[in-house]
Chains A and B, each alone.
Chain A
């Protein structure tokens, strides 16, 4: 079984903010890191490889420095890292990103199963996983919380649903996005860390994967950012200090203002 995992290098979002005076981005030494959900996706792929055999390829799209996210993926268990990097990919929205990744997956030999994290924490869109499935015309399973079984040309998964969850079975090939309820990633062994450090990362441009430049990057993106601004600040409220009576009074008054029935108070 050949399993591909799509990973993304994201800025550490805690370090990015906006200056409300000047409306400019404030970034102080923002380093790239692996999107946290992607580590869960790699672990899901590695577990299936351990049961069914095969190999795991990590795939990313990004600038040359995104190579480091593929080394992280190899340390976590991927056998190979492939980076799609080309000026033509710059400025891609989720449609152009899913197109490029789908073309990259087509260029890999015979992929049976694709895992993605449920979303990336920089954009939080959760659109690229189902977008890849649509580009490839493959079935999709979004927000998987447990792999029940896999092999023999199908995969059975417990996926999240509004009113609980469903057990679903899809034929392969298929795209699966995972939430964090699935197996936690393992700590990379020394051997894996050495493997990641010493392995090369394959870099492909738009031409290598036969991508139409008109469907890539900013040119192939129907949406774009028209402007950025600081989020509306919630008015900081009343600060209360004092003895226990005063503090609990303030709490109770606050709860009463919400117009909730005071639960558990049948005797009052």
Chain B
């Protein structure tokens, strides 16, 4: 018997038409037909709800007993966590201010940037220029390097004090450590790596769109009964807010962290800077990636030459990394890095979906492969069908000779 006091999936057999449309909708194979109607295997069902909207007869119901933990009306304003790297703001901060300004406008709310750093007020003008109405500054010499405990503790304290409705942060190395810790301490929801953020005009809730299952599926996530609604966004996914020279300043709220805020059971022994000219795929405007089609490690030297003439960086698909042709820190894709360069050249890469999720935000994609039905051609803006061992040396020659104009 359906029990309405606990969460669960209920199939109303009297409404089920036996159409079987729900069966393929279940990612976990929990649905089957029993005696002409759909039936759910409760031990397999994860209550994801994917089947509910597939049923034309409205026979499937997801009972959700989660309570409203807060009164959303007590929370207002949009916050952007303004991460700093080496005393400057991370570029993703300006992208978040662009998204945050849109959300603040549709909520009629204030856009606040929150800074935890060893920084004084004179350094905050880029945040105002990019659209922040207000900055909350927790400045302290001990916040010059990221340590999880003090950063999370201070951010949580500020959230509890000012009660923002929405908190956005970059899905950077720091953001992906700090924000989950803070969200858990706050007991609220967090959606990672959002590619779309908008306000539901009916409920005022934040609709958070993100890829799932390695990018094969997009999911829209809501956090209706808890505040703040927290989301991270990967760098270079959203457009940076334009600079408005008319707004060089604004309200600054200072927070002085105390001893108890700064306590940490982790100490930083040393900071290893990336070597000048060292590998930094995320900062590369041009990436030349090679895959299985290269056939061996020697061909990567050819890609390095192409990268040199184009001013780019060499990367690889998982197949080339697993084959030992190139080091793992250059792997692009689901289990490697996600990049969004201006130009991505895929050489001898078939374009499995796990690879494509790592590079689909590139502005322009050029693919070179001999197999005309390779899936990479469905992603590429320009697809060159041919022998890469002729095309790549040909390109290098023309660029070196300057016969490309």
Contacts and interface: CB of A to CB of B under 8 A. Distances in A.
Interface residues of A, number: 105
B102 to A, nearest CB: 19
Contact of B177 (A142, A221, A258): A142
Contacts of A47: none
Interface in A110-133: 121-131, 133
Contact of B391 (A135, A248, A268): A248
B90 interface: yes
Given A168-B267, A171-B265, A231-B216, A236 B310 contact: no
B273 A255 contact: no
Contacts of A174: 265-266
Interface stretch (A52-60, A75-83, A90-98, A189-197): A90-98
Q: Is the interface of B mostly helix, strand, loop or mixed?
A: mixed
Nearest to B372: A239
B29 A30 contact: yes
Nearest to A229: B218
A140 B266 CA distance: 8
Contacts of A160: 173
Interface in B9-34: 21, 24-29
Interface stretch (B125-133, B253-261, B395-403): B395-403
A268 B403 CA distance: 8
B285 interface: yes
Contacts of B212: 122-124, 228
Contact of A30 (B27, B267, B368): B27
Q: Is the interface of A mostly helix, strand, loop or mixed?
A: mixed
Given A169-B266, A244-B391, A223 B189 contact: yes
Nearest to A85: B43
Nearest to A134: B184
A229 B195 CA distance: 13
A265 interface: yes
A51 interface: no
Interface in A223-253: 223-234, 236-241, 244, 247-248, 250-252
Interface size class of B (residues with CB under 8 A): 35 or more
B69 A248 contact: no
Contact of A95 (B64, B85, B177, B184): B184
Given A162-B90, A229-B218, A64 B364 contact: no
A165 B184 contact: no
12 contacts: A30-B27, A139-B148, A164-B272, A169-B266, A224-B49, A225-B220, A228-B218, A238-B383, A240-B382, A247-B384, A259-B342, A262-B404
Interface of A: 11, 13-14, 16-19, 24-27, 30, 36-37, 63-65, 87-88, 90-91, 93-95, 98, 121-131, 133-135, 139-143, 156, 158, 160-171, 174, 180-181, 213, 217-234, 236-241, 244, 247-248, 250-252, 254-255, 257-265, 267-268
Q: Which 6 A-B pairs have the closest CB atoms?
A: A263-B311, A91-B47, A268-B402, A222-B189, A223-B189, A134-B184
Given A13-B334, A122-B214, 13 more contacts: A17-B217, A90-B45, A95-B190, A125-B192, A130-B178, A181-B329, A218-B64, A222-B223, A237-B383, A239-B377, A240-B382, A261-B311, A263-B309
